[in-house]
Structure 1
């Protein structure tokens, strides 16, 4: 008989709570019945009040990587705002981008839609309720321009509609941080929101709505004041999460928004697709001890400290002081480091690092000589290089163009700098693919260079994202490209008769196998993303090819590599014989 018993009736049970795994039930009926009691203990965290950051989530028990911390549906979600000038706009019914020459319009409000049969258009929890208000707009008054998608209007309107439809959700929403004290009337963000969202809603929709409400005696929206709309826009800016999977969505979650920021987050999160309501599941990415704060990341993991902190100040209104930001080397990654240019044009070979990285006016000092730079000088240099990198990357560059840019950058930037990382990440994806560098054309030297870059990028990525919380796609690409670099070289050596008796071939085979094993684990949460699906498909093809090769040649990769000088001699002799 099983020692595990139902928490409700005491009978033997096998159905464990999927969230905490701490209790079991004999069936779903008793699990549902016991939920009122268990939900207090189920979540492995509590909401605490921190004097510096306000409300936050704190672990109430030790958590290991992979443990589920929280799973919840959004309070509200809607299409992620798009500027009309930037291309396709999202459909208000399904949030998918309208691609191509579609001229379909919603019959109720005349807004662009993906097609007239879109189910979301008639769903009252999606477009249904808002459609009536949007249909009040006088198209003639604004020259027929569908400028709706130039602002966060749709999501803001959906938030306002919660007032009467779901008042409890509206109350949850209004408790979220808006930072209105930083978005006052004299700020640029206030003026922008006032003209693009608040006045637009009030003049085109709410003014005619009030006339209708007066005639019918029924109030559709209780509060459409400027103050409330501004606050909702602040809440969206500060707390909304972006989902780019089957559609482009912004969503507000009732508990997840309380996670504080860290540039080394200890959680990862994944979203389910639209049929499951964009449910978010948050899991531990690193070991989290009881009493430790549960964190996420609100900026780009592959930006340097200055860029990350500036972005956080502008969008989230705080200055980060996490362990990565406080470390001049960024956890040994040197992602912001410069090469010292020395004096009189003679480089000393040293590395320039900020003396105090969380001081915006810090000096940068060389670790080998006395040369120092001001923060303003560093910003000017890095921003200039960043603009050049962006321009080259957007021009569909060749391998030679990226190689030339990389060599130029390395005069001023550390080999691990985030601008260098970006160019190397692009290069490893061109080696082996672009004309002149296809598998049959690429030289051995280029393959060795590609593999070396991959290993360098792997080291940096693991240092800045040790829990694989933010960079699974970057890491997945690097691992697969390292496999491909090895694979082309292995097949060449095999064709030349240099086989597993040579140490280098065995090492490449083992590294290739390790890459394929790792990449599947790295991408396990990316199955709902278009990029993830594509990469996983490529990896499955590579894995089949690799396994067939191992089986056909009866190679045992579990055997240890013998460290014998004569093997190296054999390799050298066979290399000479084959002209390699």
Structure 2
């Protein structure tokens, strides 16, 4: 600690902050005094190296939900691959899709841009340095700009440009995991990346750059080797975070990439939008004890264990063994469970679950009878149902079509299965909105069915995402739709003179209030996403309407008659 000085008084210091080890103090008193200043800067973790996971972040003090863990700007970012053959392409300046009739082009590289005054075009850190290289392409040889944007070509080029502009950042980047041992020259992955990205970039941009360098005698890029480009592509595949806000962006962060995966992550993160440079803020979503690993999630929270583990193997090159993956019931959510069909066409009423979920070849056993299924049989069934769900969802289905599909699925799948969850989540958003099911048309029974679905979805969502780290929009939609279904029932009963003296009406009012409060809390970090902003506005409007109703009718929502689940009483009242 030679040469360290106290952050409070400037005198020689030998005591380091145990949490971040970034500042020193001459004694405990000055450390305590300086904490108000240092608290916002102190990183509550350390980087460690572990045999099974490599580099990772470990908490150095206890953290509560909401505690700040880190805030940082990306090393580099660029538009995500644009997988369409035609239509709008991203602007290289701001990464937003160019929608409408804009025919503006960058004066330097002739790429389509959103507007001649796009701030990103004038920023050397965003487009200025790459502009010259992009302008070297032979437009006759390149098969359209969509070919360019279908790959991570621009992001790979931006990574390459860091070596001369920001050598420290380039060094940070090249230290990231690329898993090149799994992407060797003989693999199909290598061949695919070599054709789509590396060869494309070398032939159309780097080759003309080398000719220009030879003529000018000035070297623009020192290392443009195939090996380096392949490593960069591996680093992007393994470590880049996807951002879907005002633009579709992939970004690489200097520390956040060290967060290891868990299917029950203990952190949540939010991004600033383009003007903020896509800065990321990571906060605790669950209590994290000192010494615990700090985790995020690299796959979809609402996929079953087989689907999640397969996706992680293919994209991140590891097999997850977290607590959720090891539990056949997935934390009691039964998100992958099947119904047992029994024998001779007589269902036994049992549930089929994997015997060992982290064994890809495990058998699936019924909890009531001796029937077992093989893993390939389960995959065939679940994948077939998944394809049917996707096809129906993409065809703008009606309520009746989704209800028919749901009834068919429930013959084979547990009511909590993730394919069932997806259909129910779509249905609750059609009840009350689609012709024939508008608020003035929908039956009381249908509304009660909607509230039941909402409560089922709430229970599953909270089990698989207890810290609301990955599913705030899903949770917000469910809570708001539960409120809306209750709200229609409440107003109908009020018009009939059935008021808060009836226990079920008071229960619905109290549940409605909780839904709005919880939806607001669930969506507090979603202000930078279009979907989040829209939903927040809907919740705010509903809250104002609800509060006016309560105030106008002088309703006491603190009354003792609180019912957790009012379904049976609502059904009873509907029959009165």
- Work out whether the TM-score is over 0.5: yes
Cα deviation per residue 1:286-332 (whole Å; 9 max; x = unaligned)? 00000000000000000000000000000000000000000000000
Cα deviation per residue 1:57-108 (whole Å; 9 max; x = unaligned)? 0000000000000000000011111123274321111010112343332221
Asked if 1:297 corresponds to 2:297, the answer is: yes
3-state SS of the aligned residue for 1:191? helix
Structure 1 residues 402 and 41: alpha-carbon distance in aligned structure 2, compared to 1, 3 A threshold: closer
1:113 maps to 113
1:3 maps to none
Alignment of 1:180-579 (within 5 A): 180-561=180-561
The answer to whether the 8 A contact 1:337-1:353 is kept is yes
* Structure-2-length-normalised TM-score: 0.92
The answer to whether the 8 A contact 1:153-1:201 is kept is yes
Q: Distance in 2 between matches of 1:569 and 1:143?
A: 65
- Higher mean Cα deviation, 96-105 or 39-48? 39-48
Q: Distance in 1 between matches of 2:500 and 2:412?
A: 42
The answer to whether the 8 A contact 1:421-1:457 is kept is yes
Q: Distance in 1 between matches of 2:39 and 2:233?
A: 32
The answer to whether the 8 A contact 1:260-1:296 is kept is yes
3-state SS of the aligned residue for 2:89? coil
Structure 1 residues 181 and 50: alpha-carbon distance in aligned structure 2, compared to 1, 3 A threshold: same
3-state SS of the aligned residue for 2:140? helix
The answer to whether the 8 A contact 1:498-1:571 is kept is no
The answer to whether the 8 A contact 1:502-1:570 is kept is no
3-state SS of the aligned residue for 1:403? helix
Alpha-carbon distance, 1:211 to partner? 1.6
Q: Distance in 2 between matches of 1:575 and 1:165?
A: 70
The answer to whether the 8 A contact 1:454-1:482 is kept is yes
Considering only aligned residues, what root-mean-square deviation do their CA atoms show, in Å?
A: 2.5
Structure 1 residues 562 and 341: alpha-carbon distance in aligned structure 2, compared to 1, 3 A threshold: closer
3-state SS of the aligned residue for 2:164? helix
Q: Distance in 1 between matches of 2:95 and 2:547?
A: 41
The answer to whether the 8 A contact 2:47-2:56 is kept is yes
1:62 maps to 62
- Higher mean Cα deviation, 56-65 or 215-224? 215-224
Runs of 4+, deviation exceeding 6 Å: 568-572
3-state SS of the aligned residue for 2:474? helix
Alpha-carbon distance, 1:516 to partner? 0.5
The answer to whether the 8 A contact 1:520-1:536 is kept is yes
Q: Distance in 2 between matches of 1:209 and 1:575?
A: 76
Structure 1 residues 141 and 497: alpha-carbon distance in aligned structure 2, compared to 1, 3 A threshold: same
The answer to whether the 8 A contact 1:79-1:154 is kept is yes
2:3 maps to none
Alignment of 1:80-95 (within 5 A): 80-85=80-85, 87-95=87-95
Unmatched segments (≥5 aa) in structure 1: 1-5, 11-16, 24-30
Q: Distance in 2 between matches of 1:254 and 1:454?
A: 40
Alpha-carbon distance, 1:214 to partner? 1.7
1:26 maps to none
Cα deviation per residue 1:206-259 (whole Å; 9 max; x = unaligned)? 111112112222111010000000000000000000111111111000000000
Structure 1 residues 130 and 432: alpha-carbon distance in aligned structure 2, compared to 1, 3 A threshold: same
1:154 maps to 154
Asked if 1:50 corresponds to 2:50, the answer is: yes
The answer to whether the 8 A contact 1:399-1:430 is kept is yes
Q: Distance in 1 between matches of 2:436 and 2:244?
A: 34
Q: Distance in 2 between matches of 1:300 and 1:145?
A: 31
The answer to whether the 8 A contact 2:444-2:574 is kept is no
3-state SS of the aligned residue for 2:69? strand
Q: Distance in 1 between matches of 2:426 and 2:40?
A: 48
Cα deviation per residue 1:378-424 (whole Å; 9 max; x = unaligned)? 00000000000000000000000000000000000000000000000
Alignment of 1:132-147 (within 5 A): 132-142=132-142, 146-147=146-147
The answer to whether the 8 A contact 2:448-2:571 is kept is no
The answer to whether the 8 A contact 1:385-1:409 is kept is yes
Q: Distance in 2 between matches of 1:571 and 1:51?
A: 57
Q: Distance in 2 between matches of 1:110 and 1:174?
A: 31
Q: Distance in 2 between matches of 1:193 and 1:373?
A: 38
Q: Distance in 1 between matches of 2:569 and 2:429?
A: 34
Structure 1 residues 495 and 531: alpha-carbon distance in aligned structure 2, compared to 1, 3 A threshold: same
Q: Distance in 2 between matches of 1:354 and 1:376?
A: 12
Q: Distance in 2 between matches of 1:98 and 1:382?
A: 38
Cα deviation per residue 1:109-168 (whole Å; 9 max; x = unaligned)? 122221222121121111111010010111122355552101111000000000010000
1:14 maps to none
Unmatched segments (≥5 aa) in structure 2: 1-5, 11-16, 24-30
